[in-house]
Amino acid sequence: MAFINPVADFVTKYVFDPCIGQICYLVRLRKNIEKLESKTRELTSKKNDTDSALAAAARRDGRNQTARVEEWLNSVSVIEAEAVRIKDEYEQGKTCLRGV
C-alpha cells in the first residue's frame, strides 16, 4: 500500500493538474470571447451614433467630420474586423474540441 501514495501523487501532478489547467483555460477563453462580443457591440453602437450625429451635423450646419473623428472611425472598423477574426478562429477551434 505504500507504493500507492507516490503513484497517486505522480498521477495528480502530471495528469490531473495539467488537465484542470486546460479546462480552466477553455472556460476563461469562452468568457473572454463573450466579453469581446459585448464590448464590440457597444463600440459598434457608439460608432453608429457618431455616424448619425455627423450626418445630422452635416445636413444641419454643413459641417464635415474632423481628421480625428475620421481616424477614430477607421480604428473602430479595424477593431471590428479583428474581433470578427478572433471570434471566427474561436468558433473553428470549438468545433475541433466538440463544443468545449
pLDDT at 3: 64
Per-residue pLDDT tens digits for 78-88: 999 999 999 99
Per-residue pLDDT tens digits for 14-28: 777 777 877 888 788
Q: pTM of the prediction?
A: 0.70
User: What b-and-e string marks burial along 15-33, b requiring 16 or more CB atoms within 10 Å of the CB?
Assistant: eeeeeeeeeeeeeeeeeeb
Residue written as cell 486546460? Answer: 22
CA 82/CA 75 separation, integer angstroms? 11
Residue 33: closest CA among 76, 94, 97: 94
